[in-house]
Amino acid sequence: MSDADLPETEGPETEGQDETLVETLQLERIEENLFRGTSPDNRPGRIFGGQVIAQSLLAAYETVQDRVCHSLHCYFIRPGDPTVPIVFDVDRSRDGGSFTTRRVVAIQRGKQIFNLAASFMVHEAGFEHQSEMPAGPHWSELPDEAEAMREYLKTAPEAARSWMGRSRPVEMRAVDARNYFMSGPKPPVAQNWFRCRTPIGDDAHMHQVILAYASDMNLLSTAMRPHGVHWQTPGFQSASLDHAMWFHKPTDFNHWHLYAHDSPSASGGRGFIRGSIYAEDGTLVASVAQEGLMRMKPGT
């Protein structure tokens, strides 16, 4: 399960860390189809789900040539332990004329914690259409959530200050940002502008990998909004269960992107969320869907 108990902008980067996200996600090849990755924050807890998505996609890319990922589908199976390296086992499912398919299993202590199936395709021209970017404030009109978080920290519970005070590798500016300690019911829609804080470089694949990393941020909280609960609500349990992503166009994630989501359903202890990621010029670059656990512990 993804670490959805973290606040919406939380990532695994350690406070004061100078390492870039590109360096954080790098893998060590230990066999032809086996790779090893580590977590930047090796304190006890759970691994941020976006990290495992990104490293699994990166492992798949290590076995693919001249093709670009157009979709991925994955399941969070067990909580990842940041104190233990992750082994990524890549299955070269198929190399076809137009499409390449890979399956990646992430393993800790001999058990699967996560699996991902991804499809890669040669570049091809064809029909084109897209939905329009929704109206809303421009990123330049919104405060950096890190600045807003400093205000929250002044009155936040001590237990929350450690994880809310950490530096974050992805910069975010939220429309209708929530106060984690004074939230009431709101419509199940949200908009966030985001970008990678540190340079990614010229590798288009790495921009895609880091966009996948960031795609796990803020989603599940959208399903929480109508119910007036948040990450620190006593007795509330949450975790990402699965995650799917479709890449429509290449993009530069060092520039601002709008992440718009809505949650059309919550039932059976689960919330469902859809997301659309637009470049600043209005180009739809990716679509996302996720289902997550949402429940109150009995007796609370």
For 116-165, the pLDDT digits (tens) are 999 999 999 999 999 999 999 999 999 887 776 666 666 666 655 555 55
Fold classified for 21-123+139-296: Porin (2.40.160)
The pLDDT value recorded for residue 178 is 59
The token pair that represents 168 in the structure block: 């974050």
Predicted structure pTM score: 0.89
* pLDDT over threshold 80, residue 266: yes
The pLDDT value recorded for residue 180 is 53
Q: Are 220 and 292 in contact (CB under 8 A)?
A: yes
pLDDT > 70: percent of the chain: 83
As a whole number of angstroms, the distance between CA 125 and CA 123 comes to 7
* pLDDT over threshold 80, residue 177: no
The pLDDT value recorded for residue 166 is 60
β-sheet with 189-196: strand ranges across: 28-31, 34-37, 86-95, 99-108, 111-121, 68-76, 236-247, 284-296, 270-279, 257-267, 189-196, 170-175
Q: Are 200 and 254 in contact (CB under 8 A)?
A: yes
pLDDT in tens, 100-113: 999 999 999 999 99
Query: pLDDT higher for 7 or 176?
Result: 176
The pLDDT value recorded for residue 4 is 41
Query: pLDDT higher for 298 or 96?
Result: 96
> In the block, which residue shows the tokens 């082994």?
87
> Of the ranges 44-53, 72-81, 178-187, 288-297, which one carries the lowest mean pLDDT score?
178-187
How deeply is 110 buried, as exposed, middle or buried, from its count of CB atoms within 10 A (0-12, 13-18, 19+)?
exposed
Q: State the average pLDDT for the chain.
A: 88
> In the block, which residue shows the tokens 């909280």?
221
Contacts of 224 (CB under 8 A, 6+ apart): 230, 238, 271, 294
pLDDT in tens, 218-238: 899 999 999 988 877 889 999
**Mind telling me the catalytic residues?**
216, 240, 290
What are residue 67's phi and psi, to 5 degrees?
Answer: -135, 155
- Rounded to whole angstroms, what are the CA distances from 155 to 7, 149, 180? 16, 10, 11
- In the chain, DSSP assigns E strands to 28-31, 34-37, 68-76, 86-95, 99-108, 111-121, 170-175, 189-196, 236-247, 257-267, 270-279, 284-296
Helices of type H across 26-68:
49-61
The pLDDT value recorded for residue 17 is 46
Contacts of 31 (CB under 8 A, 6+ apart): none
The pLDDT value recorded for residue 46 is 87
pLDDT average, residue stretch 244-270: 97
The pLDDT value recorded for residue 3 is 45
CA terminus-to-terminus distance, the chain: 22
> Of the ranges 120-134, 159-173, 241-255, which one carries the lowest mean pLDDT score?
159-173
Which amino acid belongs to residue 180?
A: Y
* pLDDT over threshold 70, residue 2: no
- Rounded to whole angstroms, what are the CA distances from 265 to 74, 121, 292? 20, 32, 11
